[in-house]
Amino acid sequence: MKTVRIILFILAAMMAGLFFWLWQTAKQQETALSNEPFGAPFALTRQDGQPITEQAFRGKPTALFFGFTHCPEICPTTVYELSGWLKTVDPDKSKTQAYFVSIDPARDTPELLGTYLSNVTDRITGISGDPAKVEAMARSFKVFFKKVPSDPAKPDEDYTMDHTASVFLLDRQGRFAGTIAYGENPDVAVQKLKNLIARN
């Protein structure tokens, strides 16, 4: 009986040590991530045809969404909701900025992206560009996306895209500060944006 207790005590101590190590590792990764700008340097094109780099994500808190104009539900819903949340927390557009990066640049030219967004909001700027450069930029932000053919006979013409549906939040230094999930409670989303604005 005594031997069983000793074994259980040792196992409990080992589990406690493991949990502590995992917690420390997670905290270190979080700190490392938060101390450096999120994503890799990039050179793409804004919806107005002007060049844009990662430096655009500096100076103001940034909301960043990856989607595509042919998206049937998630993207238009997110654009509409994000625009409303931004109007709530930043009525005069002086405290925040927001960008929509197309993960379907083969179809989403900067001009098309600009038309798509301007029909809904003036709070979000579209970003597109060379497909290889867009892919590299999106992957550096840990964004998942994959082409899904609707018609196997025309995989490059008739398709949709599976993709990450969260809005990324970046602080004034371009550092990762959290996400707003698709379908997030509006009050929670607004509070996250308020917290982002308040963050140094």
Closest by CA to 99, choosing from 134, 144, 147, is: 134
- Strands (DSSP E) contained in 54-190 are 62-67, 97-102, 124-128, 145-149, 159-163, 167-170, 176-180
Instruction: Give the start-to-end residue ranges of the domains of the chain.
Output: 1-35, 43-198
Cα distance between residue 184 and residue 158, in whole Å: 30
* Model pLDDT, residue 24: 38
* Model pLDDT, residue 169: 98
Q: Which CATH architecture has domain 43-198?
A: 3-Layer(aba) Sandwich (3.40)
Contact (CB, 8 A) for 137 and 53? no
Write out the chain's pLDDT in tens, 200 residues: 556 455 544 444 445 433 433 333 343 344 334 588 999 999 999 999 999 999 999 999 999 999 999 999 999 999 999 999 999 999 999 999 999 999 999 999 999 999 999 999 999 999 999 999 999 999 999 999 999 888 777 767 789 999 999 999 999 999 999 999 999 999 999 999 999 999 86
Q: Which two tokens stand for residue 192?
A: 């996250």
